[in-house]
Protein backbone atom coordinates (compact mmCIF):
# COMPACT_ATOMS: atom_id res chain seq x y z
CA UNK A 1 0.00 0.00 0.00
CA UNK A 2 2.91 2.35 0.76
CA UNK A 3 4.77 1.52 -2.47
CA UNK A 4 1.65 2.13 -4.58
CA UNK A 5 0.68 5.27 -2.63
CA UNK A 6 -2.62 3.60 -1.74
CA UNK A 7 -3.42 3.11 -5.40
CA UNK A 8 -6.25 0.56 -5.71
CA UNK A 9 -8.13 -0.73 -8.73
CA UNK A 10 -11.34 1.09 -9.56
CA UNK A 11 -14.55 -0.92 -9.11
CA UNK A 12 -15.10 -0.71 -12.89
CA UNK A 13 -11.66 -2.26 -13.47
CA UNK A 14 -12.55 -5.21 -11.26
CA UNK A 15 -16.00 -5.54 -12.88
CA UNK A 16 -14.51 -5.48 -16.40
CA UNK A 17 -11.87 -8.05 -15.44
CA UNK A 18 -14.56 -10.36 -14.15
CA UNK A 19 -16.73 -9.77 -17.22
CA UNK A 20 -13.98 -10.27 -19.80
CA UNK A 21 -12.24 -13.30 -18.26
CA UNK A 22 -15.12 -15.59 -17.34
CA UNK A 23 -13.81 -18.74 -19.01
CA UNK A 24 -10.29 -18.22 -17.61
CA UNK A 25 -11.64 -17.73 -14.08
CA UNK A 26 -13.61 -20.98 -14.34
CA UNK A 27 -10.50 -22.82 -15.54
CA UNK A 28 -8.45 -21.45 -12.63
CA UNK A 29 -11.13 -22.70 -10.23
CA UNK A 30 -10.90 -26.16 -11.81
CA UNK A 31 -7.08 -26.12 -11.86
CA UNK A 32 -6.93 -25.32 -8.16
CA UNK A 33 -8.96 -28.45 -7.41
CA UNK A 34 -6.46 -30.42 -9.53
CA UNK A 35 -3.67 -28.87 -7.43
CA UNK A 36 -5.47 -29.98 -4.26
CA UNK A 37 -5.65 -33.52 -5.65
CA UNK A 38 -1.90 -33.47 -6.39
CA UNK A 39 -1.25 -32.24 -2.85
CA UNK A 40 -3.06 -35.28 -1.45
CA UNK A 41 -6.07 -33.40 -0.09
CA UNK A 42 -8.59 -35.35 -2.17
CA UNK A 43 -7.61 -38.92 -1.44
CA UNK A 44 -11.12 -40.07 -0.50
CA UNK A 45 -13.61 -41.01 -3.20
CA UNK A 46 -16.59 -39.80 -1.19
CA UNK A 47 -18.61 -36.62 -1.74
CA UNK A 48 -21.77 -35.00 -0.43
CA UNK A 49 -24.05 -33.35 -2.98
CA UNK A 50 -26.47 -30.52 -2.35
CA UNK A 51 -28.02 -27.46 -3.94
CA UNK A 52 -28.84 -24.04 -2.54
CA UNK A 53 -30.81 -21.07 -3.87
CA UNK A 54 -28.98 -17.77 -4.32
CA UNK A 55 -30.76 -14.49 -5.04
CA UNK A 56 -30.37 -12.86 -8.44
CA UNK A 57 -30.37 -9.16 -9.30
CA UNK A 58 -34.12 -9.43 -9.82
CA UNK A 59 -36.80 -8.62 -7.26
CA UNK A 60 -39.90 -10.76 -6.94
CA UNK A 61 -41.97 -7.86 -8.29
CA UNK A 62 -39.99 -8.06 -11.55
CA UNK A 63 -40.67 -11.77 -11.99
CA UNK A 64 -43.90 -13.05 -13.55
CA UNK A 65 -45.38 -16.55 -13.45
CA UNK A 66 -48.86 -17.73 -14.41
CA UNK A 67 -50.00 -17.91 -10.78
CA UNK A 68 -48.53 -14.51 -9.93
CA UNK A 69 -50.23 -12.86 -12.93
CA UNK A 70 -53.57 -14.40 -12.02
CA UNK A 71 -53.29 -13.27 -8.38
CA UNK A 72 -52.23 -9.77 -9.41
CA UNK A 73 -55.12 -9.49 -11.89
CA UNK A 74 -57.58 -10.57 -9.19
CA UNK A 75 -56.19 -7.87 -6.85
CA UNK A 76 -56.50 -5.21 -9.55
CA UNK A 77 -60.05 -6.23 -10.45
CA UNK A 78 -60.99 -6.13 -6.77
CA UNK A 79 -59.54 -2.60 -6.49
CA UNK A 80 -61.41 -1.48 -9.62
CA UNK A 81 -64.68 -2.87 -8.26
CA UNK A 82 -64.11 -1.10 -4.93
CA UNK A 83 -63.39 2.28 -6.58
CA UNK A 84 -66.42 1.95 -8.88
CA UNK A 85 -68.63 1.19 -5.88
CA UNK A 86 -67.29 4.32 -4.14
CA UNK A 87 -68.07 6.39 -7.27
CA UNK A 88 -71.64 5.01 -7.31
CA UNK A 89 -72.01 5.99 -3.66
CA UNK A 90 -70.69 9.51 -4.44
CA UNK A 91 -73.23 9.93 -7.27
CA UNK A 92 -76.08 9.43 -4.79
CA UNK A 93 -74.82 12.16 -2.43
CA UNK A 94 -75.36 15.93 -2.50
CA UNK A 95 -72.73 17.73 -4.64
CA UNK A 96 -69.94 19.52 -2.74
CA UNK A 97 -66.32 20.57 -3.23
CA UNK A 98 -65.06 17.77 -1.00
CA UNK A 99 -67.13 15.21 -2.90
CA UNK A 100 -65.88 16.52 -6.24
CA UNK A 101 -62.25 16.25 -5.08
CA UNK A 102 -62.85 12.72 -3.86
CA UNK A 103 -64.50 11.75 -7.17
CA UNK A 104 -61.61 13.17 -9.19
CA UNK A 105 -59.14 11.25 -7.01
CA UNK A 106 -61.04 7.99 -7.54
CA UNK A 107 -61.12 8.55 -11.30
CA UNK A 108 -57.34 9.13 -11.32
CA UNK A 109 -56.85 5.87 -9.47
CA UNK A 110 -59.02 4.04 -12.00
CA UNK A 111 -56.97 5.45 -14.88
CA UNK A 112 -53.76 4.29 -13.19
CA UNK A 113 -55.22 0.85 -12.55
CA UNK A 114 -56.21 0.58 -16.21
CA UNK A 115 -52.64 1.38 -17.19
CA UNK A 116 -51.31 -1.25 -14.75
CA UNK A 117 -53.71 -3.86 -16.12
CA UNK A 118 -52.53 -3.14 -19.67
CA UNK A 119 -48.89 -3.60 -18.63
CA UNK A 120 -49.86 -6.79 -16.80
CA UNK A 121 -51.54 -8.10 -19.96
CA UNK A 122 -48.36 -7.38 -21.93
CA UNK A 123 -46.27 -9.21 -19.30
CA UNK A 124 -48.68 -12.14 -19.41
CA UNK A 125 -48.30 -12.40 -23.19
CA UNK A 126 -44.49 -12.52 -22.87
CA UNK A 127 -44.73 -14.98 -19.97
CA UNK A 128 -46.97 -17.40 -21.86
CA UNK A 129 -44.64 -17.26 -24.87
CA UNK A 130 -41.62 -18.38 -22.80
CA UNK A 131 -40.64 -22.06 -22.62
CA UNK A 132 -41.35 -22.44 -18.89
CA UNK A 133 -44.08 -19.78 -18.76
CA UNK A 134 -42.00 -17.50 -16.56
CA UNK A 135 -40.12 -14.26 -17.22
CA UNK A 136 -37.78 -12.06 -15.21
CA UNK A 137 -37.34 -8.47 -16.34
CA UNK A 138 -34.04 -7.48 -14.68
CA UNK A 139 -32.11 -10.75 -15.09
CA UNK A 140 -33.85 -12.77 -17.83
CA UNK A 141 -32.08 -16.02 -16.86
CA UNK A 142 -33.15 -15.96 -13.20
CA UNK A 143 -36.19 -17.98 -12.12
CA UNK A 144 -38.65 -18.04 -9.24
CA UNK A 145 -37.75 -20.95 -6.95
CA UNK A 146 -39.33 -22.40 -3.85
CA UNK A 147 -37.26 -22.51 -0.67
CA UNK A 148 -37.59 -24.55 2.52
CA UNK A 149 -39.80 -21.99 4.28
CA UNK A 150 -43.53 -22.50 3.90
CA UNK A 151 -44.94 -20.11 1.30
CA UNK A 152 -41.52 -18.54 0.71
CA UNK A 153 -39.41 -18.37 -2.40
CA UNK A 154 -36.61 -16.53 -4.13
CA UNK A 155 -35.93 -15.28 -7.63
CA UNK A 156 -32.45 -16.50 -8.38
CA UNK A 157 -30.29 -19.49 -9.26
CA UNK A 158 -29.83 -23.01 -7.94
CA UNK A 159 -26.15 -23.70 -7.20
CA UNK A 160 -25.15 -27.37 -7.17
CA UNK A 161 -21.97 -28.52 -5.38
CA UNK A 162 -20.14 -31.75 -4.62
CA UNK A 163 -18.03 -31.48 -1.45
CA UNK A 164 -15.42 -34.02 -0.36
CA UNK A 165 -16.31 -35.57 2.99
CA UNK A 166 -12.83 -35.29 4.54
CA UNK A 167 -11.63 -31.71 4.04
CA UNK A 168 -14.92 -30.10 2.89
CA UNK A 169 -13.37 -28.80 -0.32
CA UNK A 170 -15.79 -28.02 -3.16
CA UNK A 171 -14.78 -30.60 -5.76
CA UNK A 172 -17.09 -29.32 -8.48
CA UNK A 173 -20.01 -26.94 -8.80
CA UNK A 174 -22.55 -25.80 -11.35
CA UNK A 175 -24.99 -22.88 -11.49
CA UNK A 176 -28.43 -23.72 -12.88
CA UNK A 177 -31.74 -21.91 -13.14
CA UNK A 178 -33.72 -25.08 -12.51
CA UNK A 179 -35.44 -24.76 -9.16
CA UNK A 180 -35.57 -28.53 -8.59
CA UNK A 181 -32.66 -30.79 -7.61
CA UNK A 182 -34.37 -33.91 -8.93
CA UNK A 183 -32.58 -33.98 -12.31
CA UNK A 184 -29.14 -32.89 -11.02
CA UNK A 185 -27.77 -35.96 -9.22
CA UNK A 186 -26.15 -37.90 -12.08
CA UNK A 187 -24.69 -34.78 -13.67
CA UNK A 188 -22.96 -33.33 -10.60
CA UNK A 189 -21.87 -36.79 -9.35
CA UNK A 190 -20.33 -37.64 -12.74
CA UNK A 191 -18.46 -34.33 -12.75
CA UNK A 192 -17.08 -35.07 -9.27
CA UNK A 193 -16.03 -38.57 -10.34
CA UNK A 194 -14.16 -37.15 -13.33
CA UNK A 195 -12.45 -34.42 -11.28
CA UNK A 196 -11.31 -36.88 -8.61
CA UNK A 197 -10.08 -39.30 -11.26
CA UNK A 198 -11.51 -42.39 -9.53
CA UNK A 199 -13.12 -45.50 -10.96
CA UNK A 200 -15.82 -45.61 -8.30
CA UNK A 201 -17.38 -42.79 -6.31
CA UNK A 202 -19.55 -42.73 -3.21
CA UNK A 203 -22.07 -39.89 -3.14
CA UNK A 204 -24.64 -38.96 -0.51
CA UNK A 205 -27.52 -36.55 -1.13
CA UNK A 206 -30.85 -35.58 0.42
CA UNK A 207 -34.33 -36.74 -0.57
CA UNK A 208 -34.76 -33.83 -2.99
CA UNK A 209 -32.47 -35.67 -5.43
CA UNK A 210 -34.47 -38.91 -5.42
CA UNK A 211 -35.23 -39.90 -9.00
CA UNK A 212 -35.36 -43.44 -10.38
CA UNK A 213 -33.71 -42.44 -13.66
CA UNK A 214 -30.95 -40.43 -11.94
CA UNK A 215 -30.15 -43.24 -9.50
CA UNK A 216 -29.97 -45.75 -12.37
CA UNK A 217 -27.67 -43.40 -14.33
CA UNK A 218 -25.35 -43.16 -11.30
CA UNK A 219 -25.39 -46.94 -10.87
CA UNK A 220 -24.40 -47.45 -14.50
CA UNK A 221 -21.62 -44.83 -14.18
CA UNK A 222 -19.99 -46.58 -11.21
CA UNK A 223 -21.34 -44.09 -8.66
CA UNK A 224 -22.68 -45.50 -5.39
CA UNK A 225 -25.39 -43.16 -4.12
CA UNK A 226 -27.02 -43.01 -0.70
CA UNK A 227 -30.19 -40.97 -0.25
CA UNK A 228 -33.60 -41.39 1.40
CA UNK A 229 -36.79 -41.96 -0.57
CA UNK A 230 -39.41 -39.22 -0.11
CA UNK A 231 -42.87 -40.22 1.05
CA UNK A 232 -45.14 -39.06 -1.79
CA UNK A 233 -48.18 -41.24 -1.11
CA UNK A 234 -50.77 -40.36 1.51
CA UNK A 235 -51.85 -43.96 1.97
CA UNK A 236 -49.94 -44.42 5.25
CA UNK A 237 -51.47 -41.26 6.71
CA UNK A 238 -54.85 -42.91 6.14
CA UNK A 239 -53.77 -45.90 8.25
CA UNK A 240 -53.20 -48.32 5.37
CA UNK A 241 -50.17 -50.41 4.43
CA UNK A 242 -47.49 -48.84 2.24
CA UNK A 243 -45.48 -50.55 -0.47
CA UNK A 244 -42.61 -51.10 1.97
CA UNK A 245 -44.91 -53.45 3.92
CA UNK A 246 -44.90 -55.83 0.93
CA UNK A 247 -41.89 -58.15 0.63
CA UNK A 248 -40.55 -59.03 -2.82
CA UNK A 249 -39.29 -62.56 -3.53
CA UNK A 250 -36.95 -62.35 -6.52
CA UNK A 251 -36.70 -66.13 -7.05
CA UNK A 252 -40.49 -66.40 -7.48
CA UNK A 253 -41.12 -62.90 -8.88
CA UNK A 254 -43.96 -62.29 -6.41
CA UNK A 255 -44.78 -59.88 -3.58
CA UNK A 256 -45.85 -61.16 -0.17
CA UNK A 257 -48.46 -58.96 1.51
CA UNK A 258 -48.80 -58.35 5.30
CA UNK A 259 -51.46 -61.11 5.40
CA UNK A 260 -49.04 -63.64 3.89
CA UNK A 261 -50.69 -63.86 0.46
CA UNK A 262 -48.54 -63.83 -2.69
CA UNK A 263 -49.19 -61.16 -5.31
CA UNK A 264 -48.32 -62.68 -8.70
CA UNK A 265 -47.10 -60.86 -11.80
CA UNK A 266 -49.85 -60.14 -14.36
CA UNK A 267 -48.67 -57.69 -17.03
CA UNK A 268 -46.20 -54.94 -17.94
CA UNK A 269 -46.90 -51.43 -19.21
CA UNK A 270 -45.08 -48.12 -19.56
CA UNK A 271 -45.86 -44.88 -17.71
CA UNK A 272 -43.87 -41.65 -18.04
CA UNK A 273 -41.03 -43.52 -19.71
CA UNK A 274 -40.78 -46.17 -16.96
CA UNK A 275 -41.40 -49.88 -17.64
CA UNK A 276 -43.64 -51.09 -14.79
CA UNK A 277 -44.64 -54.64 -13.81
CA UNK A 278 -48.06 -55.13 -12.14
CA UNK A 279 -48.72 -57.59 -9.30
CA UNK A 280 -51.91 -58.54 -7.48
CA UNK A 281 -53.86 -61.48 -6.00
CA UNK A 282 -57.51 -62.48 -6.06
CA UNK A 283 -57.47 -63.33 -2.35
CA UNK A 284 -58.11 -59.73 -1.26
CA UNK A 285 -61.90 -60.07 -1.19
CA UNK A 286 -61.82 -62.57 1.69
CA UNK A 287 -58.88 -60.97 3.53
CA UNK A 288 -59.52 -60.07 7.19
CA UNK A 289 -57.34 -56.96 7.03
CA UNK A 290 -58.44 -55.69 3.60
CA UNK A 291 -59.68 -52.40 5.10
CA UNK A 292 -56.10 -51.67 6.20
CA UNK A 293 -54.76 -52.32 2.71
CA UNK A 294 -57.08 -51.04 -0.03
CA UNK A 295 -60.54 -49.70 -0.73
CA UNK A 296 -60.59 -51.27 -4.21
CA UNK A 297 -61.29 -54.78 -5.41
CA UNK A 298 -57.69 -55.84 -4.85
CA UNK A 299 -54.39 -54.23 -3.86
CA UNK A 300 -52.06 -53.77 -6.83
CA UNK A 301 -48.31 -53.26 -6.57
CA UNK A 302 -46.16 -51.70 -9.29
CA UNK A 303 -42.52 -52.69 -9.71
CA UNK A 304 -40.10 -50.75 -11.92
CA UNK A 305 -37.94 -52.73 -14.33
CA UNK A 306 -34.81 -51.64 -12.38
CA UNK A 307 -36.40 -51.66 -8.94
CA UNK A 308 -33.52 -53.73 -7.54
CA UNK A 309 -31.25 -50.69 -7.95
CA UNK A 310 -33.55 -48.63 -5.71
CA UNK A 311 -33.76 -51.47 -3.19
CA UNK A 312 -29.96 -51.59 -2.95
CA UNK A 313 -29.94 -47.84 -2.23
CA UNK A 314 -32.51 -48.29 0.55
CA UNK A 315 -30.54 -51.18 2.10
CA UNK A 316 -27.41 -49.05 1.98
CA UNK A 317 -29.17 -46.26 3.87
CA UNK A 318 -30.64 -48.70 6.41
CA UNK A 319 -27.15 -50.05 7.06
CA UNK A 320 -25.67 -46.55 7.50
CA UNK A 321 -28.34 -44.19 8.91
CA UNK A 322 -25.61 -41.69 9.91
CA UNK A 323 -25.03 -40.92 6.22
CA UNK A 324 -27.59 -38.11 6.27
CA UNK A 325 -25.93 -36.52 9.28
CA UNK A 326 -22.58 -36.72 7.52
CA UNK A 327 -24.15 -35.07 4.47
CA UNK A 328 -25.41 -32.12 6.52
CA UNK A 329 -22.09 -31.64 8.31
CA UNK A 330 -20.20 -31.79 5.01
CA UNK A 331 -22.14 -29.84 2.43
CA UNK A 332 -24.01 -27.24 4.48
CA UNK A 333 -20.76 -25.81 5.86
CA UNK A 334 -19.52 -24.50 2.45
CA UNK A 335 -22.90 -22.99 1.58
CA UNK A 336 -23.06 -21.22 4.94
CA UNK A 337 -19.55 -19.83 4.45
CA UNK A 338 -20.25 -18.67 0.89
CA UNK A 339 -23.46 -16.87 1.84
CA UNK A 340 -21.84 -15.31 4.89
CA UNK A 341 -19.07 -13.88 2.70
CA UNK A 342 -21.61 -12.62 0.19
CA UNK A 343 -23.38 -10.84 3.01
CA UNK A 344 -26.53 -12.93 2.60
CA UNK A 345 -27.26 -10.81 -0.45
CA UNK A 346 -27.59 -11.55 -4.15
CA UNK A 347 -25.35 -12.16 -7.13
CA UNK A 348 -23.97 -8.93 -8.53
CA UNK A 349 -24.01 -10.01 -12.19
CA UNK A 350 -26.83 -10.80 -14.62
CA UNK A 351 -27.37 -13.72 -17.02
CA UNK A 352 -26.37 -17.30 -16.35
CA UNK A 353 -22.84 -17.29 -17.89
CA UNK A 354 -21.77 -14.22 -15.89
CA UNK A 355 -23.38 -15.50 -12.70
CA UNK A 356 -21.47 -18.77 -13.20
CA UNK A 357 -18.23 -16.74 -13.41
CA UNK A 358 -19.08 -14.91 -10.19
CA UNK A 359 -19.80 -18.21 -8.45
CA UNK A 360 -16.50 -19.65 -9.69
CA UNK A 361 -14.71 -16.74 -7.99
CA UNK A 362 -16.54 -17.42 -4.73
CA UNK A 363 -15.74 -21.15 -4.91
CA UNK A 364 -12.07 -20.43 -5.69
CA UNK A 365 -11.83 -18.05 -2.72
CA UNK A 366 -13.51 -20.62 -0.45
CA UNK A 367 -11.19 -23.44 -1.52
CA UNK A 368 -8.11 -21.21 -1.19
CA UNK A 369 -8.91 -20.23 2.39
CA UNK A 370 -9.89 -23.81 3.21
CA UNK A 371 -6.48 -25.12 2.06
CA UNK A 372 -4.74 -22.31 3.97
CA UNK A 373 -6.57 -23.39 7.14
CA UNK A 374 -5.65 -27.05 6.57
CA UNK A 375 -2.00 -26.77 5.47
CA UNK A 376 -0.96 -23.18 6.08
CA UNK A 377 0.04 -20.46 3.64
CA UNK A 378 3.67 -21.45 2.99
CA UNK A 379 2.97 -25.08 1.95
CA UNK A 380 0.28 -23.80 -0.40
CA UNK A 381 2.62 -21.22 -1.94
CA UNK A 382 5.28 -23.89 -2.39
CA UNK A 383 2.82 -26.17 -4.16
CA UNK A 384 1.62 -23.35 -6.44
CA UNK A 385 5.19 -22.45 -7.43
CA UNK A 386 5.98 -26.09 -8.12
- Which range marks the domain in which residue 247 is found? 243-305
The answer on 190 and 170 residing in a single domain is: yes
pTM, 2 dp: 0.85
User: 33 pLDDT band (50/70/90 cuts)?
Assistant: very high
The answer to whether 142 and 136 have CB atoms below 8 angstroms apart is: yes
Do 154 and 215 fall within a single domain? yes
List, for residues 204-262, the tens digit of each pLDDT value: 999 999 999 999 999 999 999 999 998 777 777 788 898 889 999 999 999 999 999 99
Q: Do 150 and 195 fall into the same domain?
A: yes
Query: pLDDT tens digits for 137-179?
Result: 999 999 999 887 666 688 999 999 999 999 999 999 999 999 8
Pair 196, 259 in one domain: no
What whole-number distance in Å separates Cα of residue 142 and Cα of residue 345?
A: 15
- Give residue 49's pLDDT: 96
Query: How is the beta sheet containing 254-256 ordered, strand by strand?
Result: 247-249, 254-256, 262-271, 274-280, 301-304
Rounded mean pLDDT of 315-344? 90
153 and 51 in a common domain: yes
Residue 265 covered by a domain: yes
Last residue of a domain, one of 279, 305, 331: 305
User: How much of the chain, in percent, has pLDDT values that exceed 90?
Assistant: 66
Q: Is residue 365 one of the residues assigned to a domain?
A: yes
Highest mean pLDDT among 5-14, 84-93, 306-315: 306-315
Same domain, 128 and 100: yes
Structural domain count, the chain = 3
Question: Mean of the pLDDT values across residues 13-37?
Answer: 92
CB atoms within 10 A of CB 129: 9
Pairing, β 63-65 against β 170-176: unpaired
Cα–Cα distance, 178 to 143 (Å, whole number): 8
Cβ–Cβ under 8 Å, residues 127 and 65: yes
Asked if the structure places residue 9 within a domain, the reply is: no
Does 117 lie in the same domain as 76?
yes
DSSP states of 191-226: HHHHHHT-SSEEEE--GGG--HHHHHHHHHTTEEEE
- The residue-averaged pLDDT of 264-283 equals 92
Task: Among 263, 279, 305, identify where a domain stops.
Answer: 305
**What local confidence, expressed as pLDDT, does residue 151 receive?**
61
Q: Are residues 263 and 222 both part of a single domain?
A: no
Cα(79)–Cα(87) distance, rounded to whole angstroms? 12
Torsion of CA 63, 64, 70, 76, to 10 degrees: 60
> What is the tens place of the pLDDT at every residue in 50-83?
999 999 998 888 899 888 899 999 999 999 999 9
Both 164 and 220 in one domain: the answer is yes
Answer yes or no: do 255 and 288 share one domain: yes
CA distance 146 to 150: 9
Is residue 87 domain-shared with residue 131, that is, in the same domain? yes
Mean local confidence (pLDDT), 255-276: 92
Q: What is the pLDDT of residue 272?
A: 85
Residue 235 lies in a domain: no
Q: Higher pLDDT residue, 91 or 158?
A: 158
Does residue 218 share a domain with residue 85? no
Alpha-carbon distance of 63 to 134, in angstroms, equals 7
In a domain, 17, yes or no: no
Judge whether 34 lies within some domain.
Answer: yes
For the segment 359-378, what is each residue's pLDDT rounded down to a tens digit?
Answer: 999 999 999 999 999 999 99
Asked if pLDDT for residue 273 goes beyond 90, the answer is no
In a domain, 15, yes or no: no
pLDDT band at 203 (very low <50, low <70, confident <90, very high): very high
pLDDT for 97 beyond 90: no
The CATH number of residue 353's host domain is 3.30.420.10
**167 found inside a domain:** yes
Alpha-carbon separation of residue 129 from 107, 120, 125 (angstroms): 33, 14, 6
The pLDDT of residue 344 is 64
* Overall residue count recorded for the chain in this entry: 386
- For the cut 90, the answer to whether the pLDDT of residue 95 exceeds it is no
Last residue of a domain, one of 271, 287, 305: 305
Specify the DSSP element, H or E, that contains 52. strand 46-55
Amino acid sequence: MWLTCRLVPDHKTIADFRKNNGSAIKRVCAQFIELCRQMGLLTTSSVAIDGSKFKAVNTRDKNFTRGKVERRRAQLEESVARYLAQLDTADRQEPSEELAAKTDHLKEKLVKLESVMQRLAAMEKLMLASSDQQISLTDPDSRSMATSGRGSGVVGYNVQVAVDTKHHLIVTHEVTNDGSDRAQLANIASQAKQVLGVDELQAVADRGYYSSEEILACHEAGITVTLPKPVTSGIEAKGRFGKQDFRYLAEEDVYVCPAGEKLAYHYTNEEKGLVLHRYWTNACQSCAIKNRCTTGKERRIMRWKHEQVLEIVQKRLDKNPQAMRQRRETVEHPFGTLKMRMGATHFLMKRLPKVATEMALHVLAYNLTRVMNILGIQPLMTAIRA
